[in-house]
Structure 1
Amino acid sequence: MKENRVIWIFLIVTQFAFSQIRGVVKDSISGEPIPYVNIWVENETVGTTSEADGTFFLEASKEKSIVISVLGYERKTLKGTAISIVQLKPMTYDLAEVVILNKKQSKIIEIGDIKNAIFQSFDNGPKIEAKFFPYQASYSKTKFIKEVTIFTDSRIDDATIKLHFYSVDENGSPGKELLTKNYIVTLKKGIIKHRFVISQFDLIFSEKGMFVAYEKLLIESNKTGSKYQPYVLYNYVERDFFYTYAYGKWTKLNAETQGKLQLNEPAINLVLSN
């Protein structure tokens, strides 16, 4: 009996050991660690984020395929058995010509606001959720993106979150990232609508519209108990479609045969200026 118990304990410990993947993500050229890398089990809702020193821990079988991606580097998919030191190759960008403009910013509008909205917060775990901003002809006079706002409920000071800005591809999905480096923002404790100036990036609101998304960082400094801060607030709205990044890829939720989708959309706005 005692012998059987020892065998069972050994099997449980062995199984647990093989359900953990640990590694560190580094720049393949400089050897420097890469922080805040998005790490997913392919086709599953299991994921994590690398820490500031590039290290990460993922509870998943080593036989699974792991998707590793971060802005500014080529994406990789590896078997869990091959993960120890993950080296990502930096991407090269064709830089557009820089035009210096004398922006007086006499006209400013905020778009994306939902009137009479009820805000809710969710612990949405490891996924990226995007809000689509359609173009309107009236934006032609305020085509520069001055600020981005995000409404959050954080239980801690100095929680961090990653914001993404995407063009719209030929299928109407989130396409190319409009920034070439991670944009990490720090949030105050409490229920606050945060405003961040992004005019330094010279982003122009495209006539195709654009997507703005947030990515929760599953890192120790954001952790409270078993949860990760902050909670992003959501509006309950009607939409024709909604995009979320999970399973290592973008997924589109389509409108039903009749009517619109009733869903929760992250409370993110943009401030445009001339």
Structure 2
Amino acid sequence: MYKFFFFFISFSLSAQIKGVVKDSISGEPIPYVNIWVENEAIGTTSEANGTFEIQTSAGKNLVFSVLGYQRKYLAAKENMTVLLSETTMNLKEVVLINKKATKFVEIGKTPNTIKQAFDNGPKMNAKFFPYQSSYAKTKFIQKITVYTDSKIEDALVKIHLYEVDENGFPGNELLPKELLVTIKKGVLKHSIDVSEHNLSMPENGVFASFERLLIERNKLGTKYQPYILYNFVERDFLFTFSGGKWNKMENESADVKEKMRFNEPAIYLILSN
């Protein structure tokens, strides 16, 4: 008697998932939406016309997020039309003060470190700025400074400022609208003025991050521009946005609470009175 054994190998075929992201009410395309395969290091950005492509398997969850709209989770499939609903913004009262800033202080400086640029893929790293009592006299966030290395002219990026949530993670965005910044070619320092928003430095600190948009405008060969410069520093933790969520990297040893060395984005804040 012959016995036959059949081995069934289950596998999922990766495919190029295409789609478009639109406003659920107006039907207008939503540009520069952050798109991830949930819990995986695969991400992309919607183009200016709302279209996107991402390499993954049909059925896997995609995470769509952009300022001003509710985050959405959808199973990947061919020819997707993704409708996002606007969030209800709890706008804080803004008191416009007709004054000229006379005092400035730069925070987040990391002396004796070497700035270096490298390709971090679709990930975003957030830099934490703890509050200090000395900031009371210069409590307004005047400018955000970033260092970049770009091989192309007019690359487009986003800059984010986040509140600290109840778990110590990056939470809600502080800026009321997307902060899109055009980056010139070369290794450059960029100062972005946000004084019009009258943002006060939160007493539990603030996170800042740099989002490289994975769009055709920024593509050079198979890579995307620009690169942000990083400082190699000692920190208690570092937050990275990947897989559609913020992930905390820290020393997990219960016995030893030592600082770790991380590549931290070269982002600084300038405060004013």
Same fold (TM over 0.5): yes
Correspondence for 1:228 among 224, 227, 238: 224
Q: What CA distance in whole angstroms lies between the structure 2 residues aligned with 1:200 and 1:83?
A: 40
- Residue identity (%): 58
The answer (yes or no) to whether the contact 2:19–2:78 under 8 Å persists in 1 is no
Alignment of 1:196 onto 2:192: yes
Residues 26-175 of structure 1 mapped to structure 2, 5 A cutoff? 26-81=22-77, 84-175=80-171
Displaced runs of 4 or more, over 4 A: none
**Partner in structure 1 of residue 272 of structure 2:** 273
Shift of 1:159: 0.6
Matching residue's letter, 1:66? L
Amino acid at match of 1:259: E
Letter in 1 for 2:136: S
What amino acid does structure 1 have at the position aligned with 2:112? N
For residues 31 and 218 of structure 2, the distance between their equivalents in structure 1, rounded to whole angstroms, comes to 14
Which of 243, 247, 257 is the aligned partner of 2:243?
A: 247
Q: Which amino acid aligns with 1:226?
A: T
Q: Secondary structure at the match of 1:81?
A: coil
Aligned to 2:258: 259
Range 232-241 or range 169-178, more displaced: 169-178
Greater percentage in helix: 1
Question: What are the ranges of 5 or more consecutive residues in structure 1 without an aligned counterpart?
Answer: 1-14
Distance apart, 1:103 and its partner CA: 2.8
Tell me how far apart the structure 2 counterparts of residues 212 and 152 of structure 1 sit (CA, whole Å): 15
Please tell me the root mean square deviation across aligned C-alpha atoms, in Å.
Answer: 1.4
Residue 160 of structure 1 contacts residue 184 of structure 1 at CA under 8 Å; is this kept in 2? Answer: yes
- Name 2:6's counterpart in structure 1: none
Range 264-273 or range 115-124, more displaced: 115-124
User: Partners in 1 of 2:184 and 2:267 — Cα distance?
Assistant: 16
Aligned residues: 259
Moved more, 185-194 or 172-181: 172-181
Could you tell me how far 1:83 is from its partner in structure 2? 5.7
C-alpha deviation, 1:82, in angstroms: 7.2
> Secondary structure of 2:57's match?
coil
Aligned-partner Cα distance in 1 for 2:263–2:37? 25
Return the alpha-carbon distance in structure 1 between the equivalents of residues 79 and 132 of structure 2.
Answer: 46
Q: Is the 8 A contact 1:161 1:186 kept in 2?
A: yes
Note the C-alpha offset of 1:238. 0.3
Shift of 1:258: 4.1
Distance 1:139 1:67 in 2: 37
Q: Does structure 1 conserve the Cα–Cα contact (< 8 Å) formed by 2:96 and 2:198?
A: no
Q: Does 1:214 align with 2:210?
A: yes
C-alpha contact 2:141 2:200 (8 A) present in aligned 1? yes
CA deviation after TM superposition for structure 1 residue 129, in Å: 1.1
Shift of 1:79: 0.5
Determine the structure 2 residue equivalent to 1:25: 21
Q: Give matches, 1:171-182, under 5 Å.
A: 171-182=167-178
Q: When the two structures are superposed, what TM-score results if normalisation uses the length of structure 1?
A: 0.91
Do the aligned partners of 1:20 and 1:62 also contact (CA within 8 Å) in 2?
no
Deviation digits for residues 31-64 of structure 1 (CA, Å, limit 9, x no counterpart): 1100000110011000100000000001111121
> Could you tell me whether the CA contact under 8 Å between 2:18 and 2:78 is conserved in 1?
no
| Equivalent position of 1:12 in the other structure | none
